[in-house]
Amino acid sequence: MGVACALTGCESREQLRQAQEQRCTSSGLQPGTVPFADCLQRESMADSYRRNQAAGTSWGPPHTVPAYAIGGAAGGWDN
């Protein structure tokens, strides 16, 4: 937790959101626009990634293997 706090500053959700909004407005985007909303989404995902990396946890969906790669009906080794 110490490393995660060092990287994120143990900020509250509101503080994180304000920092994200500041990064987006500082790049010239206007609140209430689609590009601004896109920027907030990217910033939120980047912050989540950094927090998870600092905490040593994985990020993103679990890794899956398509059925055909393990001999499923869609083109396995028996075909």
The structural domains of the chain, with segments of one domain joined by +, span: 2-55
pLDDT confidence of 33, banded at 50, 70, 90? very high
Cα 38 to Cα 44: distance, rounded to the nearest angstrom: 10
User: Span 50-56, mean pLDDT?
Assistant: 77
- Asked if residue 68 lies in contact with residue 76, where contact means CB atoms within 8 angstroms, the answer is yes
pLDDT confidence of 28, banded at 50, 70, 90? very high
- Terminal-residue alpha carbon distance, the chain: 51
The residue behind tokens 């679990």 is 62
Cα 4 to Cα 27: distance, rounded to the nearest angstrom: 26
Percent of the chain with pLDDT over 90: 38
The token pair that represents 70 in the structure block: 């393990």
Residue type, 41: Q
Question: What is the model's pLDDT at position 49?
Answer: 85
